[in-house]
Amino acid sequence: MVKRKNDEINESVDPTHYKQGSLEVWDAIIQLKLCYLSGNVLKYLCRYRYKDAPIIDLYKARQYLDKLISKVEEEEHVEG
């Protein structure tokens, strides 16, 4: 089967590594009302196993988690 241009565009905008299981990651992020940082942690953790270079997504998840930890520590310091 030959891929049409629309199929290529749809795959780049909505890739298959976001569609594992019955719930898409962004639906979980919305339903859980996660902030930007924690939403990205979840996104990268959910998709790393389906990527060509899974370790990269794990590093990305860690980067967002480290930023989230810093933000929470900062807020606790201000409130404390």
Residue 77 counted as domain residue: yes
Nearest in space to 48 (alpha carbons), one of 39, 38, 56: 56
Asked if residue 56 is part of any domain, the answer here is: yes
The whole domain housing 65 covers 35-80
Cα angle at 26 between 23 and 30, to 5 degrees? 100
Number of domains in the chain: 1
Looking at residue 20, what is its pLDDT?
65
Is there a contact between 18 and 47 (Cβ–Cβ < 8 Å)?
A: yes
For position 22, what pLDDT does the model report? 79
Whether pTM exceeds 0.85: no
Which pLDDT score is estimated for 31? 96
Is residue 15 situated within a structural domain? Answer: no
Give me the tens of pLDDT residue by residue for the chain, a chain 80 residues long.
555 666 665 555 656 666 667 788 999 999 999 999 999 999 999 999 998 999 999 999 999 999 999 999 999 988 76
Residue 46 belongs to some domain of the structure: yes
Considering the domain boundaries, does residue 59 fall inside one? yes
